[in-house]
Structure 1
Amino acid sequence: MWQAKAVREAARAGDYGKVIELVRQDRRMTQAQLGGAIGLSQSAVSRLEKRGARTYSTEVLAAASAHLGIPPSWVGLADSRSPGHVNGDDDVDRRRFLGGVAATAAMPVLTALPHRDGPSEGRAAALRLSTSAYRRLDGSTPSRDLSEAVKSHMRLIQSITAKATGEGDRHRLAAVGSEAASLAGWLAWDMGDNGSARTWYGSALKAARASGDPLLVAYQAGSLAQFEAHAGNGTEALNLAGRARRVLGDRCPPVAEAWLLSVEALAHAAGGDRRSTDRALTASRAAAEALPGDPPPWPWVFAFDPEKVAACRVTCGARLGLADWVLSDDVEALATGHAKQRALLLLDIAAGHLAGGRIEPAFALARWALDTGLTYKSGRVVERARALRRTLTTGAPPKVVRDFDERLHGAYL
């Protein structure tokens, strides 16, 4: 449990570096790991913890607090609460704090490459912080509303990168650009624009290679593989996952192994190979259950756990038409993701019900998912709902299906 009293006292005293140090230690994260996450070297993090706001700008403090899940007011930044209100014995405050940590850990957010001290480190950290903020907004904001802002952000990164002179600076900015391009791909995918999504993911992979970091290259190759698997291109997805494995070689971190196995499971399901899908899912769950408690290495700074594997199994079961796979893991799977991701899972669960001949529960779930997709203007959710409806060919659909048809017919994004 986090050191509530010590954190409270440090916040009240204005020793924000100490606040960061205590929370970092509680999360069992080294100074080098935190530095890699926010664009600072290990020695720079050491100075930050010793001197706090007297040395670093608000952008750096904001980056550290965002990554660690610290309420902004605890490090002297603007917030609706002041450090004086911090009460480590208050259950509400504790849940708020731990909830922030969990949310930060669960985000699929790439972070910075470790690098030497220099004037460029704050620039890369600030750009990355903006990308991270856009990613956090994705869960509660329509992708159409974020897309233009992210594209403008990409243009800024490209402009700054074009003026970079040092090799190390170019590598860091390439990593930043890779992260932003990956986010742009995710947003395009959510809007149902698969062509643009594929282009952006390809750009993210190209920028990752320019960064010179094999972990980032593997992550972006795996991300593109995941996209291709969902698009039904199983062979291409397996090729990309294999490329990610070759880049890492025998240095594949445990979290990367668990995640890549789930990507391969999706690829096998896209190809209709039930046996290979089952093997990959079983191996992925075993790997996820054996993950150490230490923070995963960059860029795998998101939680990958058995619940993620359960969600993958639900999706694979829906693609393969296996109702037992879908309905056995439905509750566990829904513990993951934000509203749009849960809507997609609900549509997969609806497909499982439909495969088992349970029409009414299938379309009751599908209606809820469709409403979520319309609320967030998610083309991916709406198109998945249309695909589900096409699988039912009965001549006299029950009322729940007719209500769904009416809602779907009036769906305009």
Structure 2
Amino acid sequence: MNWSSQAIRDAARQGDFGLIVSRARRDAGVSQSQLGDACGISQSAVSRLEGRGTASYDMTILARAATHLHVPPRLVGLADHTAAHVAENGQHDVHRRNFLAGTAAAITTPALSARHAEPTDTGQAATLRVATTAFRRLDGSTPSRQLSEPVLAHLRLTQTITSDAETPEQRARLAAVGSEAASLAGWLAWDMNDIGSARTWYGAAIKAARTSGDRLLLAYQLGSLAGFEADTGNAAQGLALVRSAHRQLGDAAPAIATAWLGTIEALAHAAAGNRPAAETALAQAVRSTDAVQDEQPPPWPWVFTFTHTKVAATRLTCGARLGLPGWVAASQDAAAVALTTSHEKQRALLTLDLAAAKLATGRLDGAFALAGRALETGARYRSGRIIERVRAVRRSYTSTTPPRVVREFDDRLHGVYL
């Protein structure tokens, strides 16, 4: 490819980066579908990328395409020394996005992370909550193994102060803070694939939420444990917890709570292999999400609004668990935000769902390219949950004579020790 040709120089100067990608792809003999597999997007998304002209671009996807096609970064508006980092980790990591932006697109990331102290919170409760929030912000850039001990110490302090509270009102307020801290401890244990500890701390979060008397918080913590149980294969337990959460919410449930619980229920049905029930739950989540816009601001413990992107990402995951590549393909574009700009560990898990779907349709190169990207994230953050999911994807492919792409992947996977 002649990168110094007049046509390429003109396109770069005008900002028509899609044209450059298109010409490079054709010159390399790569189809739009093959490029999409390498970048983790659909063929139609590649087509739209190439036809964007001088409009704005998703620089993460653009960088991945340029890296795969060996396009000089400067020709698509990227500095040479940042292009590879953008392609691998997303544009926000180059500028080190803050934690709140990262978790906004993630479905199951604990939604308590950005909550500021309520005006009625004073003294110890407010101070302890600020500490919990600080730990949650660190989760976006710090391995869970490094955060676990400080968070557990913080939780023990919160529990001690709660037990010493002088009035029932103080105890209830402090118990709500303790519920948040215990939920965070459960989240970190889950990421480390310490299933027993995760279940223990989520249980502690539910118990503290009951003490707080906040039914919305209790419903959230029940739903959080339901999501955990569904992810670990305990579909019946997950569904029972979702029903308990709905009972806590009652008929006057905020739309955001109903939408979120709908996605959790869908994941549990998918874990049970029940496609019709999963589809029904997703449809309910869509209807509830339509109504979320009318609720400003979201009621605590929900901080971020619930969007159709999150529902689409849940459908993608359900499709992977049910072995329905069509669901994954149909949801891929709608879930693109979560696949490109969300919390890194959540992005890796979604990428593995996409890899599983590609593997089910025999697209080995795309599947193991995506799995390799998730493997690097899991190793970097020492995430046992991600690494175990990578191994599950690898186990789903069986062959006595695996091709080179699989053998190379195996070499990388076998070298990962957490």
Displacement, 1:309?
0.8
Report the alpha carbon displacement of residue 139 of structure 1 after superposing the two structures with TM: 1.2
- Contact 2:220–2:301 (8 Å) recurs in 1: yes
- Measure how far apart 1:311 and its partner are: 1.1
- 2:184 matched residue in structure 1: 183
- The superposition leaves residues 153-210 of structure 1 with CA deviations (integer Å, 9 ceiling, x where unpaired) of 1111122112211111100110000000000000000001111101100000000000
- Give the distance between the partners of 1:288 and 1:410, measured in 2 at CA: 43
Find the aligned partners of 1:199 and 1:396 in 2 and give their Cα distance: 43
- 1:358 equivalenced with 2:359 (yes/no): no
Determine if the alignment matches structure 1 residue 371 to structure 2 residue 373: no
Alignment partner, residue 307 of structure 1:
309
**Correspondence for 2:221:** 220
For the 8 Å contact 1:327–1:353, the answer to whether it is kept is: no
Structure 2 SS opposite 1:395:
coil
Counterpart residue number, 2:142: 141
State the Cα RMSD in Å.
Answer: 2.1
Q: CA deviation at 1:283?
A: 1.8
Cα separation, partners in 2 of 1:257 and 1:193, compared to 1, 3 Å: same
Q: Secondary structure at the match of 2:385?
A: helix
SS in 1 for 2:289: helix
Q: 1:109 aligns with which of 90, 97, 112?
A: 112
Q: Tell me how far apart the structure 2 counterparts of residues 378 and 270 of structure 1 sit (CA, whole Å).
A: 22
Shift of residue 327, structure 1, vs aligned partner: 2.0
- 132-141 vs 104-113, greater mean Cα deviation: 104-113
Q: 1:186 to 1:104 in 2, by over 3 A?
A: closer
Cα distance, 1:399 vs structure 2 = 1.4
Query: Cα deviations across residues 17-45 of structure 1 (Å, max 9, x unaligned)?
Result: xxxxxxxxxxxxxxxxxxxxxxxxxxxxx
Of residues 320, 329, 332, the one that matches 2:331 is 329
Q: Return the alpha-carbon distance in structure 1 between the equivalents of residues 415 and 103 of structure 2.
A: 37
Amino acid aligned to 1:346: T
SS of structure 1 residue aligned to 2:166: coil
In structure 2, the residue matched to 1:407 is: 412
The answer to whether the 8 A contact 2:155-2:181 is kept is yes
1 CA distance for matches of 2:158 and 2:373?
39
1:290 partner SS: helix
Q: Which stretch shifts more, 165-174 or 99-108?
A: 99-108
Structure 2 CA distance for aligned equivalents of residues 141 and 114 of structure 1: 27
Structure-1 residue corresponding to 2:56: none
Number of residue pairs matched?
314
Are the counterparts in 2 of residues 175 and 211 from structure 1 also a CA contact under 8 Å? Answer: yes
Whole-angstrom CA distance in 2 between matches of 1:225 and 1:136 = 23
Give the structure-2-normalised TM-score. 0.72
Question: Secondary structure at the residue paired with 2:301?
Answer: coil
Amino acid at match of 2:401: A
Query: Residue 162 of structure 1 aligns with which residue?
Result: 163
2:347 pairs with 338, 342, 346, which one? 342
8 Å Cα contact 1:363/1:400 also seen in 2: yes
Residue 403 of structure 2, aligned match among 395, 398, 405: 398
Q: CA distance change for structure 1 residues 358 and 195 in 2, over 3 Å: closer, same or farther?
A: same
Report if aligned partners of 2:100, 2:137 keep a CA contact under 8 Å in 1.
no
- Cα 1:241/1:113, change in 2 over 3 Å: farther
TM-score (norm 1): 0.73
- CA spacing shift, 1:352–1:104, aligned 2, 3 Å: closer
Cα gap change, 1:332 to 1:140, in 2 (>3 Å)? farther
What is the CA deviation profile of residues 57-81 of structure 1, one whole-angstrom value per residue up to 9, with x for unaligned ones?
A: xxxxxxxxxxxxxxxxxxxxxxxxx
Aligned partners of 1:412, 1:114: CA distance in 2, in Å? Answer: 43
Contact 2:266 2:282 (8 Å CA) reproduced: yes
CA distance in 2, matches of 1:215, 1:232: 26
Deviations 1:317-375, CA, capped at 9 Å, x for gaps: 11100111112222432412311100000100000001111111101100011011001
Q: CA deviation at 1:134?
A: 0.9
CA shift, 1:115, in A, is 7.8
Alignment correspondent of 1:266: 267
1:203 match: 204
Q: Is the 8 A contact 2:102 2:343 kept in 1?
A: no
User: CA offset at residue 101 of structure 1?
Assistant: 7.3
> What amino acid is aligned across from residue 109 of structure 1 in structure 2?
L
Greater length-normalized contact order (CA 8 Å, ≥ 6 residues apart): 2
Q: Which amino acid aligns with 2:323?
A: G
Query: Which runs of 5 or more structure 2 residues have no equivalent in the other structure?
Result: 1-94
Q: Find the aligned partners of 2:397 and 2:247 in 1 and give their Cα distance.
A: 42
Mapped partners of 1:99, 1:147: distance in 2: 20
CA distance in structure 2 between the partners assigned to 1:405 and 1:160 by the alignment: 49
Question: Which residue of 1 is the match for residue 321 of structure 2?
Answer: 319
Residues 113 and 172 of structure 1 are in contact (CA less than 8 Å); yes or no, is this contact kept in structure 2? no
Cα distance in 2 for partners of 1:131, 1:113 equals 11
- Percent sequence identity over aligned pairs: 58
- Kindly indicate whether the alpha-carbon contact (under 8 Å) linking 2:242 and 2:261 is maintained by their aligned counterparts in 1: yes
Residue-by-residue CA offset, 1:125-154 (whole Å, 9 max, x unaligned): 111011111111111111001111101111
Cα offset for 1:103?
A: 5.7
Change (3 A) 1:228 1:192: same
- Structure 2 CA distance for partners of 1:100 and 1:408, relative to 1, 3 Å: closer
TM-fit CA distance, 1:258: 0.4
Partners of 1:112 and 1:101 lie apart in 2 by 12
